[in-house]
Amino acid sequence: MRLLFVHQNFPGQYRHLAPALASSPENEVIGIGEEANIRRAQGFHPRVRLLAYPQPSGASAQTHHYLHSTEAAVRRGQAVVRLALALRAQGFVPDVICAHPGWGEALFLKDAFPSARLLLYLEFFYRGSGSDMGFDAEFPASLDDQCRARMRNATQLISLDAADACISPTHWQRDQYPAAFRERIHVIHDGVQTHLVCPAPVDEFLLPDGRGTLRSGDEVITYVARNLEPYRGFHTFMRALPAVLAARPKAQVLIVGGDEVSYGRRPANGECYREIYLREVGEAIDTRRVHFLGKVPYRVFLDVLRLSCAHVYLTYPFVLSWSLLEAMACACPLIASDTAPVREVVQSGRNGLLVDFFSPAALAERLVSVLDKPQQMQPLRAQARRDIEERFDLERIALPRLICLVKELASATGNRTGVLPASEAIDLTHGE
Q: What angle do CA 204, 207, 213 make, to 5 degrees?
A: 35
Q: Which three-class secondary structure state does DSSP give residue 4? A: strand
Q: Tell me the Cα Rg of the chain.
A: 23
Contact 38, 10 (CB under 8 A): yes
Q: How many CB atoms lie within 10 A of CB 65?
A: 11
CA 87 to each of CA 48, 80, 108, 204: distance values in angstroms, whole numbers, following the listed order: 14, 11, 14, 50
Picking from 66, 117, 132, 89, the residue whose alpha carbon sits closest to that of residue 317 is: 132
Residue 139, amino acid: F
Rounded CA-CA distance 33/261 in Å is 22
- Residues contacting residue 209 through CB under 8 Å, at least 6 positions apart: none
Q: Tens place of pLDDT for every residue, the chain, 432 residues?
A: 999 999 999 999 999 999 999 999 999 999 999 999 999 999 999 999 999 999 998 888 899 999 999 999 999 999 999 999 999 999 999 999 999 999 999 999 999 999 999 999 999 999 988 999 999 999 999 999 999 999 999 999 999 999 999 999 999 999 999 999 999 999 999 999 999 999 999 999 999 878 789 999 999 999 999 999 999 999 999 999 999 999 999 999 999 999 999 998 899 888 999 999 999 998 999 999 999 999 999 999 999 999 999 999 999 999 999 999 999 999 999 999 999 999 999 999 999 999 999 999 999 999 999 999 999 999 999 999 999 999 999 999 999 999 999 999 999 875 343 333 333 334 444 444
Contact 55, 140 (CB under 8 A): no
Picking from 251, 252, 271, the residue whose alpha carbon sits closest to that of residue 261 is: 271
Rounded CA-CA distance 214/304 in Å is 10
Give this prediction's pTM: 0.93
How many C-alpha atoms does 210 have within 13 Å on its Cβ side? 0
Q: Is 321 left (phi over 0), alpha (psi -120 to 50) or beta?
A: beta
Q: Do strands 48-53 and 96-99 pair parallel, antiparallel, or not at all (unpaired)? A: unpaired
Interhelix angle 154-162/68-89, nearest 10 degrees: 30
Contact 126, 149 (CB under 8 A): yes
Element (H, E) at 69: helix 68-89
Q: Do strands 165-168 and 117-121 pair parallel, antiparallel, or not at all (unpaired)? A: parallel
Rounded CA-CA distance 97/120 in Å is 8
